[in-house]
Amino acid sequence: MANLEDLYGPRVYYKRLFGLLILSVSVLLAPIVVRDPYYLELLFLCHYYVILACSWDLLTGFTGNVNFGHAFFIGGAGFAGALLNLHVGWGPWLTLPIGGLVAALCGLLVGSFTLRLRGPYFAAVTFCFATLLYKWIMIRYEIFGGEEGLPGIDWLMETALGNYYFSGILMLAVISFLYLLSKSSFGLILRSIGENEIASEGSGINTTFYKIVAFMISAFMAGVAGAMYGHAQMHVGPEMAHDSLSALVLIMAVVGGMGSIIGPIMGAYLLTLVNESLRFMGEFRLLIYSSAVVAVILFAPKGLLDIITRGLRRVAGQETT
Amino acid sequence: MTTLINILVLGAIWGALYTLIAVGFTLIFGVAGIINLSHGTFYMLGAYLAYTFMTLYKINVPMSALMAVGVTALVGILIDRFGIRPMRERHVYVLIITLALAFFFQELMYAFYGPHGKAVKSFVSGEMILANVHVTYQKVLTFFASGALVTLLWFFIKKTKTGKSTSAVAQNRDAAILVGIRPERVYLITAGISAALASVAGVFIAPILEAVPTMWVFPLFKAFAVVIIGGLGSIEGAIIAGMLLGYSETTVSVLISANYPDMVYLVAIILVLVLRPRGLMGKRAH
Amino acid sequence: MDPILEIKGLSKAFGGLKALIDFALTVHQGELIGIIGPNGAGKTTIFNMITGFIQPDSGDVWFKGEKITQLKPFQIVNLGMSRTFQLVDLFREMTVLENVMVPCFSHRAKNHRHRGKKPWSVAMEFLNQMGLGHRHNELTKNLAFGELRLLDIARAMATEPDILLLDEPFSGLDVEDAAVLSAAIRRMHEKGQTMIIIEHRLRDLLRLVERVVAIVFGEKIAEGTPEEILKEEKVVIAYFGERRE
């Protein structure tokens, strides 16, 4: 069974991690070429959005439960970290993991009530919690700073270069972890849930449990990223808990290709860079985005990754099904 | 006493409005099994088209209303045929694509009409006074229009042949095919009716609230809430839940504070899903 | 010997429709039992209730002495009851081998697995038992219909069930595939696998089973050996209509 070991044994990790290696090297060495802090900050944003998109994709891309409220974890942990920093004086090395844990706990709470339900209920509730948090943040402006948010947070690293590396290494760690997870039995089970939840349950899998765990991991990562962002910008604002952020993360993962790790990575990089260069378009940006999403779903529902893979296969002369 | 009348009257009006918006939403789910996140968009289109025809082109009210509803119904049908039909099997994609379309139309409104609210003149001017409470005739008209349309829908579903075929597809799609009903045709009709009903709400609301490009958001969520509380797929449930929501919000707004009514529906959704996911009269989702 | 499965008074109504009325059945280890009846008689409803996918209105199910009526489907699988599905709906975008690997990660399979054995080699064994080993790397959506049925059985067997429920396994199969399936079922029976088979196609079923239960409009109308059943007046009427003189 030589080729089975190839497909499922430990060697598979080494082969496919080659791409990750290339990415790591690029991330680590890029600042040699890129010196301008403006670009370093832009790349910081890319790293940030990669973490957000990949964490979102872990639940929705694999199990098919759509999360419409990812901003709940991002903004929630962002504000939690900010408040801890401003009032208790804790630095990023504490606020980031705590922000993540708080987010994960919220994920556990929300998930245990809703992930056991079939149908669109989970999507609805995630949206509700995100909106509720946003409204609460705006209403209690004396705590959360209203529209302006909370300024004066301690920095993450002292320079743009520092932020770049911190976020870059965090991003690589997240990607590696998610990659290993997706190739493991856990990933296989999550995919089976997304494919056919009834068959998965009928095969003896406690689907609710796995969905909740995936949701918690997803929440934790988004929370850490949110707290990190707050420190890097030295400011948190209500836009971190707003629907448009949830929508943006969703769009990145969908356009890139849900259910794979590479898809959201590509989507995040692409859209962050496009977002910047389209800044002059102002009002038309969202119009272009939404048209892009519609087009992608209708013509390439599996995202850019799928288009690229199929194109490569055709070039290599293999059969495409 | 004034407060009570205030609540009773306003609650009824908003309740009727929510019901009108929600019945189309629940109809689509019951029949086609999908959640159409562009539902709020139809409401918005109703309002903007009413503005365009009535204010910009100065066409008379009944004609404008008819055209607005007709155009929106067409948009609804096109979205179903070209946006949703290819993806009907994969619910995830339907959710995403309809949401993307909603954002698309929002931006389109920004592009055509700008960010400022567009006002429409009331269809009937003046107001009545009920025990010291002022109620504009426009609001009264909205209430009766909503009631009439929901009743019409109910008769359509229960009594006409086309209506009954939608009911058949809702209950058992395969069996409906066996008796000669074509589900795709039923889906298109349902999409058209659903969009039309939502747009009527938008048309009547335009003189009361202004038309803004983000106005699709709140009816979508309220419709969602009503449908979850009432039970997905149940028209009776949507009616009861719509009135319930209208009254709850009005009560909170009058008695507690104007800040909070917008949280009522969110809390209601969470409570219902935790305690009785089926809703008041829901069928099981397939 | 105690029965492995006991069903008593199982009933279910959907709205006004009485899908199943007071169904009872006792199954002993090693038996191969068939449930027959016209379409809509309530056969799949029985399976759905035994396996936890639907809650009965009344009645109970005991499996190996334990009451399982209120348990969730995955819990029942982990106790040792597996089923296939009438509309074969596997994991289409995953490979054939992956389809059988999923159940290998259930609690039950993990406990049964010998130390050091890899899940994929265990899955491979089940595939080979169904004659699908050579297709292990194929995407499930590319399989032929007959192969899909065998794959569903391999998937169900991968949790090493004490009792296997097959839901209309012969439906849609041509003569060759039906023969392959019959042979597979016979092999499993000879190895002592307890099985209940729901089937609508009489000929294939009656050649395999030892005992038959006939259901019409939700009620059990007859029970006995295949020969006895075929002679039962009510069964004949249900399938062929009133006898005309």
Residue A6, pLDDT > 60, answer: no
Angstrom distance (rounded) from CA A55 to CA A45: 15
Nearest Cβ partner of A205 from C85, C97, C106?
C106
Both tokens of A275, joined, read 């977002």
A228: confidence class by pLDDT, cuts 50, 70, 90? very high
Both tokens of C142, joined, read 């590319």
Both tokens of A297, joined, read 């779903």
| Residue C137 zone, left/alpha/beta (φ > 0; ψ -120 to 50; rest) | alpha
Angstrom distance (rounded) from CA B188 to CA A67: 28
Give A-chain residues touching C124 at CB under 8 angstroms: 1, 4
| Interchain pair C124, A205: CB under 8 A | no
Angstrom distance (rounded) from CA C31 to CA C41: 23
Residue A13, pLDDT > 60, answer: no
Angstrom distance (rounded) from CA C220 to CA C120: 42
The answer to whether A307 and A320 have CB atoms below 8 angstroms apart is: no
Angstrom distance (rounded) from CA A153 to CA A71: 20
Please tell me which of A239-243, B231-235, C79-83 the model is most confident about, judged by mean pLDDT: C79-83
A49: confidence class by pLDDT, cuts 50, 70, 90? very high
B191 Cβ contact partners less than 8 Å away, ≥ 6 residues apart: B28, B32, B36, B76, B77, B79, B80, B81, B84
The answer to whether C197 and C178 have CB atoms below 8 angstroms apart is: no
CA distance C155 to chain A (A): 7
What average pLDDT does the structure give for chain B? 85
Residue type, B16: A
Given the DSSP bridges, would you call strands C66-67 and C211-216 parallel, antiparallel or unpaired? unpaired
Q: What is the pLDDT of residue B285?
A: 39
Average pLDDT over residues A156-163: 84
Integer-rounded Cα radius of gyration of chain C: 18
Residue pLDDT, tens place only, A103-149: 999 999 989 888 887 667 788 788 888 888 998 898 888 888 888 88
A156 Cβ contact partners less than 8 Å away, ≥ 6 residues apart: A92, A162, A163, A166, A228, A231, A232
Nearest Cβ partner of C74 from A1, A8, A201?
A201
Q: Which of B179, B27, B35, B28 is nearest to B98 (CA)?
A: B35
Both tokens of C231, joined, read 């002679």
Both tokens of A102, joined, read 């708080």
Strand partners, B130: B133
Angstrom distance (rounded) from CA A244 to CA A286: 10
List all chains that touch chain C, counting a touch as 3 or more CB pairs closer than 8 Å. Answer: A
SS3 content of chain C, % helix, strand, coil (to 5): 40, 25, 35
C163: confidence class by pLDDT, cuts 50, 70, 90? very high
Give A-chain residues touching B22 at CB under 8 angstroms: none
| Interchain pair C102, A198: CB under 8 A | no
To the nearest 10 degrees (0 to 180), the angle between helices A243-256 and A303-316 is: 10
A247: confidence class by pLDDT, cuts 50, 70, 90? confident
Residue pLDDT, tens place only, B32-54: 888 888 999 999 999 999 999 88
* CB of A140 less than 8 A from some CB of B: no
What share of chain A in percent tops pLDDT 90? Answer: 38
Integer-rounded Cα radius of gyration of chain A: 20
The answer to whether C84 and C44 have CB atoms below 8 angstroms apart is: no
Angstrom distance (rounded) from CA A129 to CA B266: 8
A10: confidence class by pLDDT, cuts 50, 70, 90? low
* CB of A29 less than 8 A from some CB of B: no
Distances in Å between the alpha carbon of B199 and those of B1, B17, B128, C125?
Answer: 35, 11, 26, 60
Average pLDDT over residues C185-198: 91
Q: What is the pLDDT of residue A2?
A: 41
Residue pLDDT, tens place only, B113-144: 888 888 888 777 777 777 777 788 888 888 88
Q: What is the distance in angstroms between the CA of the first residue and the CA of the last residue of chain C?
A: 47
Give C-chain residues touching A206 at CB under 8 angstroms: 72, 74-75
**Kind and range of the H or E run holding B128:** strand B127-130
- Interface-testing mutation among A203, A211, A302, with chain C (most C C-beta atoms within 10 A): A203
List all chains that touch chain B, counting a touch as 3 or more CB pairs closer than 8 Å. Answer: A
Phi, psi for B77 (deg, rounded to 5): -65, -45
Which residue did the predictor score with more confidence, B232 or B44? Answer: B44
Residue pLDDT, tens place only, C110-154: 888 877 788 888 899 999 888 888 888 888 888 888 889 999 999
Residue pLDDT, tens place only, A230-242: 999 999 999 999 8
Residue C15, pLDDT > 90, answer: no
H helix runs in A157-278, sequence order: 160-183, 185-195, 197-202, 207-233, 243-256, 262-277
Residue pLDDT, tens place only, B187-211: 899 999 999 999 999 998 888 888 8
Angstrom distance (rounded) from CA C229 to CA C206: 10
| Interchain pair A301, B93: CB under 8 A | yes
Distances in Å between the alpha carbon of A105 and those of A110, A213, A230, A294, C239?
Answer: 9, 11, 20, 34, 58
Residue pLDDT, tens place only, B239-274: 999 999 999 888 888 887 777 777 888 888 888 877
| Interchain pair C155, A203: CB under 8 A | yes
| Interchain pair C92, A192: CB under 8 A | no
Q: What is the pLDDT of residue A7?
A: 59
Report the residue of chain A nearest C155, measured CA to CA: A203
A321: confidence class by pLDDT, cuts 50, 70, 90? very low
Report the residue of chain B nearest A134, measured CA to CA: B263
Residue B104, pLDDT > 80, answer: yes
Q: Which of B78, B81, B84 is nearest to B96 (CA)?
A: B84
Report the residue of chain A nearest C158, measured CA to CA: A203
Report the residue of chain A nearest B263, measured CA to CA: A132
How many residue pairs bridge chain A and chain B with CB atoms within 8 Å of each other? 94
| Interchain pair A202, C119: CB under 8 A | no
